[in-house]
Amino acid sequence: MNNARISSLHERLVKAAACLERLDWERSSSGDPILGKVIEKRIVWRELLDLELQDFDEQIAHLLEVAHNLFPDTGNGRSR
C-alpha cells in the first residue's frame, strides 16, 4: 500500500472509532443497551468488508505481477 492510501485508511478508521465511541457514550448515558446498535454494526461491517476488498486487490495485483513476470510479452491484445 502506498502512503496516501494508508493515510486515508487511517483517517477513516479514526473517524469510525470516534463514531463508535460516541455511540457507546450515548448508549451508556441513555441507559438503552440497544441504542445505535444497527449503526454500530454497519460501521464495523463496512470496515471489515473494505479490508477484505483491499486484501483481494493486493492479491490480484500480486498475481498480475507474477503473471507478467512469467509471460512478459502476452496480454497486449496483439498477435504476432
Give pLDDT tens digits for 36-74: 899 899 999 998 898 889 889 999 999 999 999 998 876
- Structural domains counted in the chain: 1
Looking at the domain assignment, is residue 66 inside a domain? Answer: yes
Share of the chain above pLDDT 90, in %: 41
Which residues contact residue 40 at a Cβ distance below 8 angstroms, ignoring those fewer than 6 apart?
A: 20, 23
Looking at the domain assignment, is residue 49 inside a domain? Answer: yes
Q: Is the pLDDT of residue 80 over 50?
A: no
Looking at the domain assignment, is residue 61 inside a domain? Answer: yes
Give the gyration radius of the chain's Cα atoms.
Answer: 21
**How many CA atoms does the CB half-sphere of 16 hold within 13 Å?**
17
Give the chain's mean pLDDT.
Answer: 85
Q: Could you tell me the residue range of the domain that residue 23 belongs to?
A: 3-70
Q: What per-residue confidence (pLDDT) applies to 76? A: 57
Looking at the domain assignment, is residue 79 inside a domain? Answer: no
Q: What per-residue confidence (pLDDT) applies to 74? A: 62
Cite the DSSP H helix spans in 1-80: 3-30, 37-70
pTM of the model: 0.62
What is the distance between the alpha carbons of residues 65 and 10, in angstroms, rounded to a whole number? 27
Looking at the domain assignment, is residue 63 inside a domain? Answer: yes
CA 8 from centroid of its chain's CA atoms: 10
Looking at the domain assignment, is residue 78 inside a domain? Answer: no
